[in-house]
Amino acid sequence: MRLSSYFGIFFILVSLSPSFSQSLSSDQVEIGIVLQPFTARTGVDEISIAPELLFREVASLLKELQIEPADKISIDLTDNEKEQYGVWHRLGLADGHLGKAVSDLAGKNKFVLGLLGNCNSSIGMLSGLQHAGNGSNLQTVGMIWIDAHGDFNTPETSLSGWLGGMPVAIASGQCLHRIREKAGLNPAIATGNIVMMGLRDVDPLEQVLIDESDLTTVSAHDLINKSTVFQSALEQLSNRVDVIYLHIDLDILDATEIPGSFFEVEGGPLATQLIEPIKMIVNNPKVRAMGIASFPTAERGREKSLESTMLLIKAGIEGLREQSNNY
């Protein structure tokens, strides 16, 4: 495994609110930042610049919050792996490296912030949490999936055939097992331990798969309003699993909030409407990693996209700092 730009692996939050310091046994929270640029897109887009763009803004945010500057782990392939054929295969290899990095960080009780090229990296994030337990014991992993899309397609149900519409199905063992196994996610996570929030653009046969599964769905309305449905889904998931991964695809936001998104979907929430729900989710101590995926790389509209994205990241950090023992 080769990790480029490996200068540290974590930073320490030193400017903590009174409520945070009272709720935890330690007055320090350690966070590791991982950048996973591999997308499984063919051609020049196989390696996304989005994680690096976001890291610059995260560094500025930390300075604003008077938090010690963060170093980073950037995921890369070995020279031999780069020569292997198939963008899907190379994604599996890269997610394997991601999983090892996340496992190392989480195993040392670091909260992991993943800056991800797209949703395919969720498989590596899950793998890392699964293997972050003591010794050879695997952790039971749950996932909260905040996205306009279910990404629960298989090659048989997909309208586009794009791998980016399949990672939840892959992670839960519905298809393309080789990618999941290369990423180190074995066994697959149970669909009953997945909560999807805010879906509004689902393929017809994908919806059939969702309806036939035992995963939980929470509407955008319930998410925004932190309804009893939202709170119950979070509580029940927390009771079922050892650790939770929060995944946020930026296309959950309305198209006006994230200009140039690869898959814009109108009618979504504003970034400001997701601040409190995200804080509440990360406030749960079983949430040990958060991934931000699919930041649009086009220069046009970037300022607005960065503004929206950083509101969500800041909400996650604030939720972590205010984390309580209510669960």
Residue 82 has pLDDT above 70, yes or no: yes
Domain that holds residue 262: 2-321
Q: What is the per-residue pLDDT for 326?
A: 41
CATH of the domain at 75: 3.40.800.10
Examine residue 181 and state whether it is found in any structural domain, yes or no. yes
pLDDT digits (tens, 9 = 90+) for 62-78: 778 776 656 689 999 99
Q: Which helix (H) or strand (E) holds 40?
A: none
Domain annotation covers residue 222:
yes
pLDDT at 54 > cutoff 80? yes
**Predicted local distance difference test score (pLDDT) of residue 247:** 98
**Does residue 129 form part of some domain?**
yes
Separation of CA 259 from chain center? 20
* Averaged pLDDT for residues 97-102: 97
- Cα angle for residues 53, 56, 59 (degrees, 5° grid): 150
What pLDDT is recorded for position 70? 61
Q: Is residue 285 part of a domain?
A: yes
Q: Is residue 327 part of a domain?
A: no
DSSP readout, 151-200? ----TTT-SS--GGG-HHHHHTTSS-HHHHHHHT--SPPPGGGEEEES--
**pLDDT of 134 higher than 80:** no
Question: How confident is the model over 298-316, as a mean pLDDT?
Answer: 95
- Residue 317 domain-assigned? yes
Q: What's the number of domains the chain is made of?
A: 1
Asked if residue 10 has pLDDT above 70, the reply is no
Stretch 17-29: mean pLDDT, rounded? 36
315 pLDDT more than 90: yes
What pLDDT shows up at residue 28?
A: 56
pTM: predicted TM-score of the whole model, two decimal places: 0.90
- Please tell me whether the peptide bond between 18 and the residue prior to it is cis, using omega within 30 degrees of 0: no
What is the spatial distance between Cα 212 and Cα 4, in angstroms, rounded to a whole number? 42
Is residue 249, in this structure, part of any structural domain at all? yes
Q: In the predicted model, is pLDDT for residue 12 greater than 80?
A: no
How far is 54 from 292, CA to CA, in rounded Å? 9
Of 200, 195, 245, whose CA–CA distance to 220 is shortest? Answer: 200
Q: Which residue has the higher pLDDT, 5 or 117?
A: 117
Is the residue at 326 inside a domain?
A: no
More confident residue, 125 or 8: 125
Q: What is the dihedral of CA 108, 97, 196, 132, to 10 degrees?
A: -30
- The predicted-structure confidence for 188-233, as pLDDT tens digits, reads as follows 999 999 999 999 999 999 999 999 999 999 999 999 999 999 999 9
Are β-strands 141-146 and 243-249 bridged in parallel, bridged antiparallel, or unpaired? parallel
Question: Strands 216-218, 194-197: parallel, antiparallel or unpaired by DSSP?
Answer: parallel
